[in-house]
């Protein structure tokens, strides 16, 4: 009876097996969760880095675009100013080389006219408001400075140093001031609209 009783009695082994296998399963699950957490963190860090890099690239691109527009608008005004100076240049032409001076000044004026036409077309395509303001400025320039150039060609060239000082009573371009301000205000408004929000 003792023999059968020992055989029939439950063995403690299943309980021991259960206790040894459960921690192993739990450990494997913890490793998986830890690995998933690490991978998720790495993915999130990569995503944040990529987002920052894209934002920085877009910011640089927007700033470069604003710089390009500022330069282009300034060059247009510089060309206008070059035309505006032509009445003075004609009056100050050399008296001892009339034919050469006519050729030189006429060629200079031709180049300025070509640049004015380019800037008029470009600005009108970039901004209708600034383009219209520049067109009005150029039209007024041709009327006022053009008349001053005609008068300068009709007068004899200067042959003395004091004559280089040309007073407003001889060349008066003050009628251009309002159109200049209108153009500059239109440019300022356009640049403000295209400027990135973080630099406004």
CA distances from 185 to 53, 65, 138, 153, 197 (A): 35, 19, 16, 34, 20
In a shared domain, residues 88 and 153? yes
In a shared domain, residues 102 and 46? no
Q: What torsion do the CA atoms of 141, 142, 145, 151 make, to the nearest 10 degrees?
A: -170
Between 107 and 58, residue with greater pLDDT = 107
Distance in angstroms (rounded) separating the CA atoms of residues 63 and 71: 12
Between 86 and 27, residue with greater pLDDT = 86
Residue 190 lies in a domain: yes
In a shared domain, residues 101 and 156? yes
Q: How many domains does the chain have?
A: 2
Residue 8 lies in a domain: no
Between 16 and 180, residue with greater pLDDT = 180
Say how many residues make up the chain.
Answer: 200
- In the numeric block, the tokens 């004091």 are attached to 162
In a shared domain, residues 131 and 172? yes
Closest Cα partner for 187 from 75, 29, 36?
75
Largest pairwise CA distance in the chain = 148
Distance in angstroms (rounded) separating the CA atoms of residues 133 and 30: 71
Mean pLDDT of 171-183: 97
User: Residue 66: pLDDT band by 50, 70, 90 thresholds?
Assistant: confident
- How open is the CA angle 164-141-76, to the nearest 5 degrees? 95
Residue 21 lies in a domain: no
In a shared domain, residues 137 and 190? yes
Q: Is the pLDDT of residue 123 over 90?
A: yes
Share of the chain above pLDDT 70, in %: 68
pLDDT digits 0-9 by tens, 77-89: 999 999 999 999 9
């Amino acid at each position: 009876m003792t023999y059968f009783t020992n055989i029939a009695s439950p063995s403690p082994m299943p309980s021991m097996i259960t206790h040894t296998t459960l921690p192993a399963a739990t450990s494997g699950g913890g490793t998986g969760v830890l690995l998933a957490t690490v991978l998720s963190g790495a993915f999130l860090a990569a995503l944040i880095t990529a987002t920052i890099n894209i934002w920085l690239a877009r910011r640089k691109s927007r700033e470069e675009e604003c710089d390009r527009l500022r330069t282009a608008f300034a060059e247009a005004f510089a060309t206008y100013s070059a035309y505006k100076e032509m009445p003075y240049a004609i009056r100050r032409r050399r008296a001892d080389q009339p034919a050469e001076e006519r050729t030189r000044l006429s060629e200079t004026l031709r180049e300025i006219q070509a640049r004015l036409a380019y800037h008029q077309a470009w600005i009108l395509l970039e901004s209708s408001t600034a383009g219209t303001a520049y067109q009005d400025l150029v039209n007024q320039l041709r009327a006022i400075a053009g008349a001053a150039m005609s008068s300068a060609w009709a007068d004899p060239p200067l042959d003395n140093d004091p004559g280089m000082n040309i007073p407003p009573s001889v060349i008066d371009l003050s009628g251009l001031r309002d159109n200049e301000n209108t153009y500059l205000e239109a440019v300022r408004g356009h640049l403000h609209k295209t400027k990135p929000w973080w630099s406004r």
